[in-house]
């Protein structure tokens, strides 16, 4: 009898839940669903596997959306999402749906209300402060840091060159972390010289735990998560990171106060310190209002956000580009010739003026980001009904998955060779997008990435340093590159960017 009443209660609960959401379901039913949908569970069975399987499913639904007029409905249990690959509809979604999806809550313990995933009222204020900090003039001042760290990267992989396969992922992670710490906090972490650096280890473990919470349902409820060992581990690693950053913030505030006290009359008249390289931490203190601006907690949240967002994103983008250069030796040879034309056989480090001359490298980077964007899917919460230019309505309460992966590979906007690796498609005379959202490796709209110029500079600096000194060996691929990848918060190569390097004789 008890079991009967329990089953009856569950059925009635589901019926009441669906009745309350009947309008939402009616609107959703007007959008084509996936061929994989099953009653009650939707497409949840396609997301049970590992992170490689998860990525394959998301890519599959992106291609399916292309065939169904740019949008596809898919339920995961009681949650409904729309996979969108139409760039015109995507622009409307990214401009109007500014709240991030609830799945991003797992970053909360690490970054609090840091800019990327902050609730809308907090995000608006912080965005106004962050944008000027990433102005091109300020980003240009970081070139020396990128150059120094890229030269260190080249020296660190020297011992591995010519000795078989190299797993580049850890090298690139340490390079990007050192560059970020130098530009964000104004410190030298020296992670490249010390793989056992406590801050580096803590960062890597925090990202692993956050990824597990994304894909393991039993780790998602906060009350249940506290009973698992990951909860204690996360607290430990976050304390190490937070204590470290808090110490840097405190020291920086003391330096700023001391600098103000000792400032000469000349400095006061001409503000000479404006022309020196300043870290993002200093800029955030200044732009937010100095002593009356950001609190130490707010500063820590923004520094944590920049560190977590920047380390993996730039590293995996460099890694994919190296893999592509190994697969396409003719492209690599052409790039090497461009580098020879600029640097000759000299050992001098790259400077800011060199970047504008590296036209072919820029096209390679852009094409790499088109085919393998580090953030291939942007998930937004639909807070109010959205009326799309295509005539469909997305109901409030559901989620939208804007697929940059799909838009970047849609033949409708990129031609029949959309899957082909061709850097020259970014030549000025050929690059003519029908819609700007057709290419969005750093997202689009008000919540797009403010650090895209920073990331591009870091990528080009590291890639030029590597290709000048080493030839990237690999098997020549067909026109369409296939790199086994997985989805761990962002897209990453399964082999962690395994390549083979040979030292160039002419350098």
Binding site, by residue number, is 449
- Count the Cβ atoms, other than its own, within 10 Å of residue 439: 21
Query: Which two tokens mark 452?
Result: 């895209």
Burial class (CB in 10 A: 0-12, 13-18, 19+), 377: buried
Nearest of 122, 56, 163 to residue 485 by alpha carbon: 56
If DSSP codes are grouped into helix, strand and coil, which group holds residue 44? Answer: helix
CA 499 to chain centre: 22
* Long-range contacts of residues 330-334, Cβ cutoff 8 Å, at least 24 apart: 331/364, 331/421, 331/423, 332/467, 332/471, 332/472, 334/360
Please state, in angstroms and rounded to a whole number, the distance separating the CA atoms of residues 72 and 83. Answer: 5
- Count the Cβ atoms, other than its own, within 10 Å of residue 304: 22
- Count the Cβ atoms, other than its own, within 10 Å of residue 21: 16
Query: Which two tokens mark 323?
Result: 């893999």
From start to end of 124-204, where are the E strands? Answer: 165-167
Nearest of 329, 405, 380 to residue 57 by alpha carbon: 405
| Helical axes 329-343 vs 296-327, angle rounded to 10° | 110
Q: What angle do CA 26, 28, 34 make, to 5 degrees?
A: 130
Query: Are 185 and 281 contacting, i.e. CB atoms less than 8 angstroms apart?
Result: yes
Please state, in angstroms and rounded to a whole number, the distance separating the CA atoms of residues 484 and 208. Answer: 19
Beta-strand pair 470-473/377-381: unpaired
- Count the Cβ atoms, other than its own, within 10 Å of residue 290: 13
Please state, in angstroms and rounded to a whole number, the distance separating the CA atoms of residues 32 and 506. Answer: 58
| Residue-by-residue DSSP string for 188-219 | ---TTT-TT-HHHHHHHHHHHHHHHHHH-GGG
Run of H or E including 134:
none
Please state, in angstroms and rounded to a whole number, the distance separating the CA atoms of residues 438 and 108. Answer: 31
Please state, in angstroms and rounded to a whole number, the distance separating the CA atoms of residues 376 and 334. Answer: 28
Beta-strand pair 71-76/470-473: unpaired
Please state, in angstroms and rounded to a whole number, the distance separating the CA atoms of residues 68 and 33. Answer: 9
Please state, in angstroms and rounded to a whole number, the distance separating the CA atoms of residues 329 and 324. Answer: 9
Binding residues for heme: 449
Any idea of the CA torsion for 22, 24, 25, 30, to the nearest 10 degrees? 130
């Amino acid at each position: 009898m008890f079991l009967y009443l329990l089953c009856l209660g569950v059925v009635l609960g589901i019926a009441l839940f669906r009745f309350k959401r009947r309008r939402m379901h009616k609107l959703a039913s007007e959008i084509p669903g996936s061929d994989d949908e099953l009653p009650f569970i939707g497409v949840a069975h396609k997301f049970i596997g590992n992170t490689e399987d998860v990525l394959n499913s998301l890519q599959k639904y992106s291609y399916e959306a292309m065939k169904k007029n740019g949008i596809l409905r898919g339920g995961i249990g009681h949650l409904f999402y729309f996979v969108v690959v139409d760039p015109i509809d995507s622009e409307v979604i990214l401009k109007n749906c500014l709240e991030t999806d609830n799945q991003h809550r797992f970053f909360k313990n690490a970054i609090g209300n840091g800019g990327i995933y902050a609730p809308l009222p907090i995000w608006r204020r912080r965005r106004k402060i962050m944008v000027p900090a990433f102005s091109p003039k300020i980003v240009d001042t970081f070139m020396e840091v990128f150059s120094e760290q890229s030269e260190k990267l080249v020296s660190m992989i020297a011992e591995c060159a010519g000795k078989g396969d190299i797993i580049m992922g850890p090298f690139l992670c340490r390079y990007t972390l050192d560059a970020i710490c130098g530009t964000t906090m104004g410190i030298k972490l020296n992670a490249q010289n010390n793989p056992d650096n406590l801050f580096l280890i803590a960062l890597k473990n925090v990202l692993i735990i956050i990824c597990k919470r994304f894909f393991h349902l039993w780790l998602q409820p906060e009350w249940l998560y506290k009973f698992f060992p990951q909860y204690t581990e996360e607290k430990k690693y976050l304390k190490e990171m937070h204590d470290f950053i808090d110490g840097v913030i405190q020291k920086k505030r003391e330096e700023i106060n001391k600098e103000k006290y000792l400032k000469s009359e000349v400095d006061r008249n001409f503000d000479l310190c404006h022309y020196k390289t300043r870290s993002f931490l200093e800029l955030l203190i200044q732009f937010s209002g100095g002593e009356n601006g950001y609190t130490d907690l707010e500063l820590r949240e923004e520094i944590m956000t920049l560190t977590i967002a920047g380390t993996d994103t730039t590293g995996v983008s460099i890694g994919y580009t190296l893999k592509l250069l190994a697969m396409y030796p003719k492209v690599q040879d052409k790039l090497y010739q461009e580098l020879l034309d600029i640097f000759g056989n000299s050992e001098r480090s790259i400077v800011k003026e060199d970047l504008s001359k590296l036209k072919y490298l820029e096209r390679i980077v852009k094409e790499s980001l088109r085919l393998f964007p580090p953030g291939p899917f942007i998930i937004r919460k639909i807070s109010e009904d959205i009326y799309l230019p295509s005539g469909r309505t997305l109901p409030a309460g559901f989620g939208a998955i804007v697929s940059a992966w799909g838009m970047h590979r849609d033949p409708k906007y990129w031609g029949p060779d959309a899957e082909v690796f061709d850097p020259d498609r970014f030549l000025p005379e050929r690059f003519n997008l029908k819609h700007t959202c057709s290419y969005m490796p750093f997202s689009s709209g008000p919540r797009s990435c403010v650090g895209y110029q920073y990331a591009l500079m870091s990528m080009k600096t590291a890639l030029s340093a590597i290709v000048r000194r080493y030839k990237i060996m690999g098997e020549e691929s067909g026109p369409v590159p296939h790199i086994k990848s997985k989805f761990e918060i962002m897209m990453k190569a399964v082999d962690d960017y395994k390549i083979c390097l040979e030292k160039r004789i002419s350098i």
